[in-house]
Amino acid sequence: MDRAVADRKSKPLASLLENYQRSPTAFDEVLSANGEPRSQYARLLPALQELGRTEWQRRRDACERLVHEQGITYNVYNDPRGTERLWQLDPVPLVISPAEWSKLEAGLIQRATLLNHILTDCYGAQDLIRSGWLSPALVFAQPDFLRPCHGIRAPGNSHLNFYAADLARSPDGRWWVTSDRTQIPTGMGYALANRLVTSRILPELFQEHHVHRLAGFFRSVQTTLTRLSPRGTENARVVLLTPGPLNETYFEQAYLARYLGYTLVEGQDLMVRDERVFLKTLSGLEPVDVILRRVDDDFCDPLELRNDSILGVPGLVEALRAGNVVVANALGSGLVQSPAFMPFLPGLCRHILGVPLQLPSVATWWCGQQDAREHVLKHLDRLVVKPAFRTQVRPPTKADELKRQIEFDPDLFVAQEDVDLSTAGVWDKHGLAARPVSLRVFLVAHEGSYRVLPGGLTRVSPDAGGQFISMQTGGSSKDTWVVSDTPVEEVSLLHESAMRVELRRTGNNLPSRLADIFFWLGRYAERADATARILRSALLRFNPERNSSAQPALRPLLKTLVAQGQLPDMEAKPELYQNTEAFEAELLAAIFDPDHPGSLRQTTEQLQRLAAVVRDRTSHDMWLVLSELHDRFARPASSLVMLAGDAVNVLTHTLLSLAAFHGLARENMTRAQAWRFIDMGLRLERTLYLATLLDSTLKLPDAENPSLLEAVLEVADSSITFRSRYNLLATVPAVFDLLMLDDKNPRSVLFQLKQLVKHFEKLPVDRNNSAGPGKVLLQKCLQRLERIDARELAGSPALWASSDAATVIRETLQDLPQISNIIAANYFAHSTLSRTGRESET
Amino acid sequence: MNYAITHRTLYEYAAPVSVSHHVARLEPRATPGQACEDFTLDILPKPARRRTRADYFGNRLCLFTIQEIHDELEVITKSRVSVNAPAPASLDNSLPWEEAARLFRDPVSPEVVTPYEFVFDSPQLRASRELADYAMESFRPGTPLLAGAADLTRRIFEDFKYDPKATTVATPLEEVWKKRRGVCQDFAHFAIACTRSLGLPARYVSGYLRTYSPPGKPRLIGADASHAWFSIFSPQVGWVDFDPTNNVQPAEEHITVAYGRDYGDVSPVAGILTGGGSHVVKVSVDVQPL
């Protein structure tokens, strides 16, 4: 290259690469040995430089905001600060050239094919063991060899439907497999999420680079899973089995379920009957054909596998054996992800496939082999010793203890060479910085072979010298661009215009467990709403100059919160209500204190938790609204010192968020089961707070005090309605008529009960006509209300406290928990599993 | 020797059970010295589904599902078994134990692949150097394999006290060892973990024991209940049983039902129930010589 041209080319990059310090030993993905950008980065670097720092900062902020808004998270185990963490994404993609990728692709397909052959043999004839190609200990000593699954036929002998591998590039530029993922190949959902964010913040670069799209791969995933169905592909029901919201990659599970169009289920949503698997829905059992599992295989069936599992489905193994359902990956596929297999792969590849292994593994010695053991014991100082199998036992750290342990039980250990990871550029404040990266790639079995996701999950070490990357310990990630010299095919899962669509007016039936979640989502949303309204009205009326007992308007409000256990009992702690500072602190604690029982903060946390469970079934906006609501409270404790005025502001915004939530539920959800359960929860909870408020008011000697009644109207959000009807000060008969008996007022008790009855009429009725008792009880409550003659009581306010109306409120309050229980018993049917068979032999 | 065996298991649940899935390993399997001539398995209430097959180790396995609401489950088996034990293996003429152990070091020859499965740690049993040290007192250098096993059996019989109150099925082996107390299952487990710690294959055997009533003779422990012992692999004669609970070499008075790596592979009846709460189980076994 002409010197002047080279100058012009490299000069603009000067500030971008100012702080790019390459390791002298590692391979660098961005720059070649002479410091020039590699060809696949030749376009990206100048473009990044051209954007300039301000624009970069803007895009980086957009990246963070998108991750936050999409709620891309992962869970960290055993962290007292809570489990959920925001996903870390660096916006600069890892770019891979077409030539390099096609080589990798071929190697990966070969490796997946080989591992699948090994699995097929181990769970079938075991010829590889008998003929000495595979050491028996590798299989028999492994907890991941699931004997009850031996002999179960996998359709098309495909045990390994999904495969992932972690790749690292050594200083000489070759890719090595550092670990095989055959149990549950996680990460493809994160790769997809990274892509959606990165392509949005760098749209022009994404277009220019002809980046291979990911959607085609996911379409193959759908085809593969559908074809596994034993009942044929027509209307095959695929579900994604999750361990639940606390699992590390729950976000990804919900995300994939939604993207692929599968029902996200937990073990308790499924049951086996007559050797078939069914999904328990509100209106009965629906057959399941294929289970995409994210539960470790040994946890999948407490009957034949780990009997302490609460995540699985009893009888699943027998249903599999009968050929009535297929699980992907097959149960037992975790066997071949043991690093102890790595030294055997070159030999097995020649033996099974008749060709050399294309993609090497990182140098690995399994101590079960004598030569390998001797090598390891001699070089303990420069090798990394790891457990050979999935086990809780960590290798001892002291060298002599480790040596003794290896000598006593050599099968349990492997040693690997330290891998020098390659480096790639991440964005820091001053431009690009070099950080170690590794690449996780994904494959799906497809038409007798495998298809590779063109891209992957690039993981970035948090520090320059890091060699071990885990999202659990602060790693970040990148999108991975496999670029093409020519424009690429645009595929999307969202437009399947070529396929004929059968029109449907109803969705899939709601799993009973989720009906429960929606019901409580409605209840907690209304609880937050009621709590915020009461506290706001209380704070607005609170006068620090006077003690609270001298402020009558506060009393029905406080009594309501006391009755719901959200404030300490006034009778028991009179001193609190004399001391205005302590009292104010108490009110603020009921809002912000995470440890205060029933605090608004606790309620919003509950809401967020419930919303996370049904994320794949609610709109993204709904998730956003509840996340923002949660964020408003989830602040460090130090910022809790607040003035009452600030708190009022927070409460008002809380109410607006909740109004947005209700609006989205009411206007944007189809009138299907999910919405119905949200609304039932809401109505029930609203009745509870309203009736408690009315009951507390009537019990006060000065119930007819107009300023007190004003507060009641305000909490019940009915002040405007009242003023439009009555041109006078609030009176007990007028207020109670409006809040109890007026069926036009959406805030009245009668209105709530009527809505509940309507819901009951629309719910599926099972064989035992079990909607019956709930409806009967509701009708009884309704009739009691309707019998009250408001006109008769209108003339004599004092009578209300001792009238039928007061009794009816109390009776309604007593019946509410029963109604809730009936709903739970009929529709949620939480079945607790128990186990037998641990009786002893003598 | 021929036996008629009745094994009755009754579960009483505290709360109704709506669906239950069970695995039963109650049918005496065929062994070189034993044939099961007749077997019936009755289940009440009647299961909606029931399937019998062999498990990974060749034990007879019955899976059944009850799909009606019930608060009691009764499982009754009746077996007729003939036992023709081969002449007891000569203890002193067996291979020195180190030579046997050498056969089970990688790489192994194809004919010992099957017993090789029983050398490794299993879900309930883990080898350790401490256990190896305990075993070594019986397996001194050059000791014939079976003589070592017989001596280990005797030492467990003498060192451990039979005490049904000391342990439950959940008690870990370390605790059994510390207390030096337990039942047949614990002693079999302990013996297996010891032998495996020396690199020798050993397996868990569940079954029944013929019982005698007085006069004169002491009643064998383990009467009228299911029993367990262990078996060690001799490259010369195959699997040889030892019963550390009674310090005997099982012959015509032990009836094998199933074997596996540890109790977890062979538990007689196990179930996962929807509902049920806590339960009480009543077991009665009758072993009648014909």
- Nearest in space to A426 (alpha carbons), one of A194, A200, A92: A92
Q: What is the mean pLDDT of residues B206-220?
A: 74
Q: What is the mean pLDDT of residues B185-191?
A: 96
Q: What is the mean pLDDT of residues A723-742?
A: 86
Residues of A in contact with B11 (CB under 8 A): 836
Residues of B in contact with A832 (CB under 8 A): 274-275
Q: What is the mean pLDDT of residues B259-284?
A: 91
How many Cα atoms within 13 Å fall on the side-chain side of residue A137? Answer: 25
Residues of A in contact with B168 (CB under 8 A): 838, 840
Q: Do A135 and B221 touch (CB under 8 A)?
A: no
CATH 2.60.40.2250 residue ranges in chain B? 2-84+267-289
One domain, residues A693 and A616: no
Residues of B in contact with A369 (CB under 8 A): 106
One domain, residues A679 and A665: no
- Phi, psi for B285 (deg, rounded to 5): -125, 135
Q: What is the DSSP string of A219-260?
A: HHHHHHHHHT-TT-STT--EEEE---TTSTTHHHHHHHHHHH
Residue of B nearest to A373 (CA): B106
One domain, residues A524 and A616: yes
Q: Do B273 and A836 touch (CB under 8 A)?
A: yes
One domain, residues A718 and A792: yes
Kind of pairing between the strands at A326-328 and A270-273: unpaired
pLDDT above 90: percentage of residues in chain A: 50
**3 state DSSP class of B202:** strand
How far is the C-alpha of A570 from the C-alpha of A495, rounded, in Å?
A: 61
**Bond from prior residue into B107 cis (ω within 30 degrees of 0):** yes
C-alpha of A468 from chain center = 25
Is the pLDDT at A692 greater than 50, yes or no? yes
Taking the CA of residue A149 and the nearest CA in chain B, the distance in Å comes to 9
Is the pLDDT at A476 greater than 50, yes or no? yes
C-alpha of A503 from chain center = 30
One domain, residues A724 and A648: no
Confidence band, pLDDT 50/70/90 cuts, at residue A467:
low
pLDDT value of position A420: 84
- Nearest in space to A245 (alpha carbons), one of A516, A611, A509, A633: A611
Asked if residue A257 belongs to a domain, the reply is no
Kind of pairing between the strands at B279-289 and A284-287: unpaired
Confidence band, pLDDT 50/70/90 cuts, at residue B195:
very high
A320 touches chain B (CB under 8 A): no
pLDDT value of position A569: 81
Kind of pairing between the strands at A162-169 and A413-417: unpaired
Q: What is the mean pLDDT of residues B217-230?
A: 70
Residue type, A760: F
Q: Which residue has the tokens 């660098």?
A: A28
- Phi, psi for A350 (deg, rounded to 5): -65, -40
pLDDT value of position A640: 52
How far is the C-alpha of A73 from the C-alpha of A87, rounded, in Å?
A: 5
* Residue from B22, B120, B128 whose CB has the most chain A CBs within 10 Å, to mutate: B120
How far is the C-alpha of A179 from the C-alpha of A168, rounded, in Å?
A: 10
CATH 3.10.620.30 residue ranges in chain B? 97-251
Average pLDDT value for chain B: 91
Q: Do B169 and A839 touch (CB under 8 A)?
A: yes
Give pLDDT tens digits for A242-254: 998 888 899 899 8
Give pLDDT tens digits for A795-822: 665 667 777 788 889 999 998 888 888 7
pLDDT value of position A499: 44
One domain, residues A687 and A808: yes
Residue of B nearest to A370 (CA): B106
Confidence band, pLDDT 50/70/90 cuts, at residue A15:
confident
Of the residues A669, A692, A720, the one at which a domain ends: A669
How many Cα atoms within 13 Å fall on the side-chain side of residue A502? Answer: 4
Q: Do B19 and A273 touch (CB under 8 A)?
A: yes
Is the pLDDT at B174 greater than 60, yes or no? yes
Q: Provide the chain A residues 767-806 that lie in CB contact (below 8 A) with chain B.
A: none
Asked if residue A537 belongs to a domain, the reply is yes
pLDDT value of position A829: 61
Residues of A in contact with B278 (CB under 8 A): 834
How far is the C-alpha of A659 from the C-alpha of A746, rounded, in Å?
A: 14
Is the pLDDT at A580 greater than 60, yes or no? yes
Is the pLDDT at B222 greater than 50, yes or no? no
Of the residues A651, A669, A687, the one at which a domain ends: A669
Q: What is the mean pLDDT of residues A8-18?
A: 62
Output A793 or A117, whichever has higher pLDDT.
Answer: A117
DSSP letter at A825?
I
Average pLDDT value for chain A: 86
Q: Do A836 and B227 touch (CB under 8 A)?
A: no
- For A135, the closest of B106, B132, B228 (CB atoms) is B106
A368 touches chain B (CB under 8 A): yes
Is the pLDDT at B226 greater than 70, yes or no? yes
Asked if residue A35 belongs to a domain, the reply is no
Give pLDDT tens digits for A634-689: 765 445 556 667 888 889 999 999 999 999 988 878 778 889 999 999 999 999 99
Provide CB contacts within 8 A for B148, sequence distance 6+.
B97, B135, B138, B139, B140
Taking the CA of residue A772 and the nearest CA in chain B, the distance in Å comes to 21
Q: Do B19 and A271 touch (CB under 8 A)?
A: yes
How far is the C-alpha of B8 from the C-alpha of B282, rounded, in Å?
A: 8
A102, A593, A598, B81 from A638: Cα distances, Å: 54, 11, 20, 76
Out of A37-46, A140-149, A407-416, A542-551, least confident range: A542-551
Confidence band, pLDDT 50/70/90 cuts, at residue B139:
very high
One domain, residues A638 and A699: no
Which H or E run includes A60?
helix A44-70
Is the pLDDT at B270 greater than 70, yes or no? yes
> How far apart are the two ends of chain A, measured CA to CA in Å?
86
Asked if residue A541 belongs to a domain, the reply is yes
pLDDT value of position A281: 84
Sheet holding A364-366, edge to edge: A364-366, A413-417, A383-387
- For A304, the closest of B23, B113, B277 (CB atoms) is B23
Q: Provide the chain A residues 263-302 that lie in CB contact (below 8 A) with chain B.
A: 271-275, 302
Containing domain of residue A397, as a range? 363-418
How far is the C-alpha of B6 from the C-alpha of A840, rounded, in Å?
A: 18
Kind of pairing between the strands at A162-169 and A431-446: antiparallel
Residue B212: how many CB atoms within 10 A of its CB? 13
pLDDT value of position A506: 54
Residues of A in contact with B271 (CB under 8 A): 303, 835-837
Is the pLDDT at B101 greater than 70, yes or no? yes
Q: What is the mean pLDDT of residues A608-613?
A: 86
One domain, residues A602 and A684: no
pLDDT value of position A546: 66
Is the pLDDT at A138 greater than 60, yes or no? yes
CATH class, domain B97-251, is alpha beta
pLDDT value of position A52: 83
Give pLDDT tens digits for A61-100: 999 999 988 888 888 765 545 567 789 999 999 999 999 9
What is the CATH code of the structural domain delimited by B2-84+267-289?
A: 2.60.40.2250
Give pLDDT tens digits for B117-126: 999 999 999 9
Confidence band, pLDDT 50/70/90 cuts, at residue A213:
very high
Asked if residue A698 belongs to a domain, the reply is yes
pLDDT value of position A608: 87
| Number of Cβ pairs < 8 A linking chain A and chain B | 142
Asked if residue A536 belongs to a domain, the reply is yes
pLDDT value of position B116: 93
Query: What ranges make up the beta strands (E) of A447-541?
Result: 449-452, 457-460, 476-482
Which H or E run includes A621?
helix A620-633
Q: What is the mean pLDDT of residues A86-115?
A: 96
Is the pLDDT at B65 greater than 60, yes or no? yes
A408 touches chain B (CB under 8 A): yes
Q: What is the mean pLDDT of residues B194-221?
A: 83
Output A430 or A163, whichever has higher pLDDT.
Answer: A163
State the total domains in chain A. 3
Q: Do A841 and B120 touch (CB under 8 A)?
A: no
pLDDT value of position A210: 93
Q: Are A643 and A539 in contact (CB under 8 A)?
A: no
* Burial bucket for residue A72 (CB in 10 Å: 0-12, 13-18, 19+): buried
Is the pLDDT at A500 greater than 50, yes or no? no
Kind of pairing between the strands at A89-96 and A476-482: parallel
One domain, residues A599 and A518: yes
Q: What is the mean pLDDT of residues A312-327?
A: 96
Q: Do B113 and A129 touch (CB under 8 A)?
A: yes
ipTM: 0.94
Asked if residue A116 belongs to a domain, the reply is no
One domain, residues A687 and A825: yes
Confidence band, pLDDT 50/70/90 cuts, at residue B7:
very high
Confidence band, pLDDT 50/70/90 cuts, at residue A6:
very low
Q: Do A840 and B67 touch (CB under 8 A)?
A: no
How far is the C-alpha of A59 from the C-alpha of A40, rounded, in Å?
A: 22
Asked if residue A302 belongs to a domain, the reply is no
Residues of A in contact with B49 (CB under 8 A): 274-275
pLDDT value of position A2: 43
Q: Do B106 and A137 touch (CB under 8 A)?
A: yes
Q: Do A842 and B67 touch (CB under 8 A)?
A: no
Confidence band, pLDDT 50/70/90 cuts, at residue A7:
very low
Q: Do A137 and B116 touch (CB under 8 A)?
A: yes
Of the residues A646, A669, A692, the one at which a domain ends: A669
